[in-house]
């Protein structure tokens, strides 16, 4: 996955402007970056490891055609070999890609059997080899689109012709238009300062782009006339993909991240991971903050297959749980950053006692990924805001899939449940894409009601961890004290504070509807403020199957916490004194 930025111009311009474009796309990936440009009929390729906003690609040449990429490692480690651009065997074609290919392993095997030499372990490298020796790049691009399954977009250059070829197979690509140049980018805002108008490439199209012309073709090879939009974004918004805050942008990323997270899980690693969990003497699930809450949700999934797991804060684990860890123990360690010290310290200690470590992380090259015996990727894409949102919902997907695979070994689950889950996730994502703008408006309207000193968030069963998670988001994003509490427990004392005007956000549980109604009545008798999160609630959550309700219910809480933070004028993405990964 990653961000793409490229240009083709009438006259040579500074190649280094690619750095500027890529910096605006940093939210799409920051593990490595690279540029390819045409110089004297050959391709020059430069790559760096790490974050391009901190370390530019050093290039002083001018060129008429150049392509660039900033990478989020999802398939293959964050190494220079895996950094884009990637080339064919002859070094004549350079490709940068955003997205994930589903069936690349088979294609790669076929190409290797035909004599192609691969230098990386990333999925995107199949593309330049598929294009190798092409005599008609438009036709070859259409063939790539037909043959290679996945959700991706890509751009390539070849020394044969001073044009850029672009394929949109489900990931966004925009073409900025000026008199003298055409620019290609993964989003519209990053084109501000480069072009005032841009073509939005429709899905499943190929574009042939020269400095003075853009032709777009559908999969049948017929020319189409796509929409042209004006590019007008403030600089600070451009870096957040057009959103005022990363947190909001990342909430809007959730639907796609759910699908990517499901699709990125590979059968061979799932089989291995689930076999390890199934054969474990005892299972501990560790993490901190949001990752710990995802762990709590998974305990409900594992209990469906009669597997008792111990969910423990990674900060507490060494003091209390570690003593029961021996050979045969399995530690499922969850950390979106993969760098949290509590997690790393705990897994190192557990390893010394003979435990097997199953890491779950959103960062492929992280310490957690490196220290784990086997790891499963979260694949939510880079998350920039300190309040975690899309990594949480995607972690839930990974844990649900892991539990289903574990149940296959004991015969509690069958394969049809995996394909049903895929459809359920797709349906949820589809509905979310439509509903998110309305939910955002609902949250904006309700935020003033919650602008109080403190509040409760309450639910039951599999949605109780969502109450904890929501409370954490209110603290981080809106600097409001919030307490997550089990529904029934509200009546055992805490309800007294609702008299003080402390609002209660009630998440309708899947089971225990009678309890939910009883709590509503009890609070209303006191005349106090309730905001309900339910299909028919004040914040309308999307209908989902029981195991996906934590995803559909947490999003309204994300939005409420966010809107309250906006109302208070807070630095939502970077709450004072907090960092994205606690590594001390
Ligand atoms: C979440 O919004 C917080 N920023 C924080 O609690 C976080 O979840 C925790 O520090 C764990 O981070 P990790 O997933 O990167 O390990």
- What pLDDT does 364 receive? 85
**CB-based contact 533:539 (threshold 8 Å):** yes
Q: Which atom of ligand 1 is nearest to the CA of 388?
A: 2
With a 6 Å cutoff on the Cβ, whether 343 touches ligand 1 is: yes
With a 6 Å cutoff on the Cβ, whether 266 touches ligand 1 is: no
How many residues are there in the chain?
A: 584
Q: Are residues 57 and 19 in the same domain?
A: yes
Q: Are residues 360 and 333 in the same domain?
A: yes
Residue among 134, 121, 19 at smallest CA distance from 67: 19
C-alpha of residue 474 to centroid of ligand 1, in Å: 14
DSSP state of 277: H
Q: Which atom of ligand 1 is nearest to the CA of 473?
A: 2
Which of 250, 287, 289 maximizes ligand 1 atoms within 8 Å of its Cβ, making it the mutation to test the pocket? 289
Q: Which atom of ligand 1 is nearest to the CA of 289?
A: 6
Among 238, 263, 282, give the residue marking a domain's end. 238
Q: Are residues 231 and 364 in the same domain?
A: no
- What pLDDT does 578 receive? 84
Residue with CA closest to ligand 1 atom 7: 289
> 3-state class of 121 per DSSP?
coil
**CB-based contact 357:333 (threshold 8 Å):** yes
pTM comes to 0.87
Beta bridge partners of 287: 313
**Which residues, other chains included, contact 506 with Cβ-Cβ below 8 Å and sequence gap of 6+?**
458, 459, 487, 516, 519, 520, 530, 531, 532, 533
| 577 part of a folded domain | no
Q: Are residues 319 and 187 in the same domain?
A: no
**CB-based contact 480:452 (threshold 8 Å):** yes
- What pLDDT does 481 receive? 97
With a 6 Å cutoff on the Cβ, whether 582 touches ligand 1 is: yes
Q: What does the alpha-carbon distance between residue 184 and residue 165 come to, in Å, rounded to a whole number? A: 10
DSSP state of 15: T
Residue with CA closest to ligand 1 atom 13: 335
C-alpha of residue 469 to centroid of ligand 1, in Å: 11
- What pLDDT does 277 receive? 98
> CA 503, 505, 511, 514: dihedral to nearest 10 degrees?
30
Q: Are residues 517 and 443 in the same domain?
A: yes
Q: What does the alpha-carbon distance between residue 419 and residue 265 come to, in Å, rounded to a whole number? A: 13
Q: What does the alpha-carbon distance between residue 468 and residue 489 come to, in Å, rounded to a whole number? A: 14
Residue-range definition of the domain harbouring residue 412: 255-568
Residue with CA closest to ligand 1 atom 2: 387
Beta bridge partners of 160: none
Q: Are residues 210 and 323 in the same domain?
A: no
Specify the pairing of strand 197-200 against strand 174-177. Answer: antiparallel
Q: Are residues 287 and 350 in the same domain?
A: yes
Residue among 13, 3, 125 at smallest CA distance from 65: 13
DSSP 282-315: EEEEEE-HHHHHHHHHHHHHHHHTT---EEEETT
C-alpha of residue 580 to centroid of ligand 1, in Å: 7
With a 6 Å cutoff on the Cβ, whether 82 touches ligand 1 is: no
Residue among 357, 282, 353, 344 at smallest CA distance from 314: 344
Q: How far is CA 447 from the centre of its chain?
A: 26
Q: Which atom of ligand 1 is nearest to the CA of 361?
A: 14
Kind and range of the H or E run holding 161: strand 161-169
Q: Are residues 226 and 352 in the same domain?
A: no
DSSP 500-538: GT--EEEEPPSS-HHHHHHHHHHHHHTT--EEEEETTSS
Q: Are residues 126 and 156 in the same domain?
A: yes
Q: Are residues 216 and 345 in the same domain?
A: no
Among 238, 273, 299, give the residue marking a domain's end. 238
CATH code at 404? 3.40.50.10490
| 574 part of a folded domain | no
- What pLDDT does 561 receive? 98
Residue among 349, 4, 491, 499 at smallest CA distance from 357: 349
Q: Are residues 389 and 433 in the same domain?
A: yes
With a 6 Å cutoff on the Cβ, whether 476 touches ligand 1 is: yes
> 3-state class of 44 per DSSP?
strand
C-alpha of residue 151 to centroid of ligand 1, in Å: 28
| 17 part of a folded domain | yes
C-alpha of residue 392 to centroid of ligand 1, in Å: 9
Per-residue pLDDT of the chain (584 residues; tens, 9 = 90+): 799 999 999 999 999 999 999 999 998 989 999 999 999 889 999 999 999 988 899 999 999 999 999 999 988 899 999 999 999 999 999 999 999 998 899 999 999 999 999 999 999 999 999 999 999 999 999 999 999 999 999 999 999 999 999 999 999 999 999 999 999 999 988 998 999 999 999 999 999 999 999 999 999 999 999 888 888 777 667 778 889 999 999 999 999 999 999 999 999 999 999 999 999 999 999 999 999 999 999 999 999 999 999 999 999 999 999 999 999 999 999 999 999 999 999 999 999 999 999 999 998 878 999 899 999 999 999 899 999 999 999 999 999 999 999 999 999 999 999 999 999 999 999 999 999 999 999 999 999 999 999 999 999 999 999 999 999 999 999 999 999 999 999 999 999 888 778 899 999 999 999 999 999 999 988 877 899 999 999 999 999 999 999 999 999 999 999 999 999 999 999 998 888 888 76
**CB-based contact 100:189 (threshold 8 Å):** no
| 549 part of a folded domain | yes
C-alpha of residue 290 to centroid of ligand 1, in Å: 5
**Which residues, other chains included, contact 332 with Cβ-Cβ below 8 Å and sequence gap of 6+?**
277, 283, 284, 285, 286, 295, 298, 309, 358, 360, 402
Q: Are residues 174 and 205 in the same domain?
A: yes
Domain count, the chain: 2
| 243 part of a folded domain | no
Tally Cβ neighbours within 10 Å of residue 223.
10
| 314 part of a folded domain | yes
| 506 part of a folded domain | yes
Among 211, 238, 265, give the residue marking a domain's end. 238
- Rg (C-alpha) for the chain, rounded Å, is 25
**CB-based contact 70:22 (threshold 8 Å):** yes
Query: Which pair of structure tokens corresponds to residue 5?
Result: 């930025």
């Amino acid at each position: 996955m990653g961000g793409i930025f490229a240009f083709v111009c009438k006259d040579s311009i500074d190649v280094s402007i690619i750095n500027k474009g890529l910096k605006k796309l940093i939210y799409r990936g920051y593990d490595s970056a690279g540029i390819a440009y045409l110089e004297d009929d050959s391709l020059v390729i430069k790559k760096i490891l790490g974050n391009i906003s901190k370390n530019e690609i050093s290039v002083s040449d001018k060129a008429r055609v150049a392509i660039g990429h900033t990478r989020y490692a999802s398939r293959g480690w964050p190494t220079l070999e895996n950094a884009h651009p990637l080339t064919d065997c002859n070094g004549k074609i350079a490709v940068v890609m955003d997205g994930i290919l589903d069936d690349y392993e088979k294609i790669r095997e076929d190409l290797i059997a035909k004599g192609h030499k691969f230098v990386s372990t990333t999925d995107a490298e199949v593309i330049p080899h598929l294009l190798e020796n092409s005599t008609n790049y438009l036709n070859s691009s259409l063939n790539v689109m037909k043959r290679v399954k996945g959700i991706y977009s890509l751009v390539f250059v070849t020394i044969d012709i001073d044009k850029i070829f672009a394929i949109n197979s489900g990931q966004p690509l925009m073409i900025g238009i000026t008199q003298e140049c055409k620019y290609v980018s993964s989003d519209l805002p990053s084109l501000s300062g480069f072009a005032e108008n841009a073509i939005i490439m429709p899905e499943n199209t190929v574009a042939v782009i020269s400095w003075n012309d853009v032709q777009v073709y559908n999969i049948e090879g017929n020319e189409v006339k796509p929409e042209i939009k004006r590019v007008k974004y403030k600089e600070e918004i451009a870096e957040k993909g057009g959103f005022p805050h990363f947190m909001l942008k990342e909430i809007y990323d959730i639907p796609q991240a759910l699908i990517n997270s499901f699709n990125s899980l590979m059968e061979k690693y799932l089989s291995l991971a689930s076999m390890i969990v199934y054969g474990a003497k005892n299972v501990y699930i560790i993490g901190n903050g949001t990752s710990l809450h995802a762990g709590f949700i998974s305990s409900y999934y594992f209990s469906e297959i009669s597997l008792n797991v111990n969910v423990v804060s990674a900060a507490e684990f060494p003091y209390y749980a570690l003593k029961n860890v021996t050979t045969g123990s399995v530690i499922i360690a969850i950390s979106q950053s993969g760098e949290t010290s509590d997690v790393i310290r705990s897994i190192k200690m557990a390893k010394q006692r003979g435990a097997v470590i199953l890491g779950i992380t959103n960062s492929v090259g992280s310490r957690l990924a490196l220290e784990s015996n086997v790891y499963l990727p979260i694949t939510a894409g880079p998350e920039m805001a300190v309040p975690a949102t899309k990594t949480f919902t995607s972690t839930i997907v990974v844990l649900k899939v892991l539990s289903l695979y574990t149940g296959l070994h004991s015969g509690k689950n069958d394969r049809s449940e995996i394909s049903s889950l895929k459809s359920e996730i797709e349906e949820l994502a589809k509905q979310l894409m439509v509903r998110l703008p309305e939910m955002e408006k609902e949250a904006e309207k309700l935020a003033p009601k919650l602008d109080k000193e403190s509040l409760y968030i309450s639910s039951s069963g599999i949605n109780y961890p969502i109450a904890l998670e929501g409370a954490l988001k209110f603290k981080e994003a809106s600097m409001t004290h919030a307490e997550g509490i089990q529904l029934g427990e509200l009546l055992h004392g805490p309800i007294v504070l609702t008299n003080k005007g402390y609002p209660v956000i009630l998440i309708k549980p899947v089971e225990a509807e009678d309890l939910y109604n009883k709590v509503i009545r009890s609070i209303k008798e006191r005349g106090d403020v309730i905001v309900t999160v339910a299909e028919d609630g004040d914040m309308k959550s999307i209908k989902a199957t029981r195991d996906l309700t934590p995803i559909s219910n947490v999003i309204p809480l994300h939005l409420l916490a966010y809107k309250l933070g906006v109302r208070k004028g807070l630095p939502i993405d970077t709450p004072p004194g907090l960092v994205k990964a606690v590594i001390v």
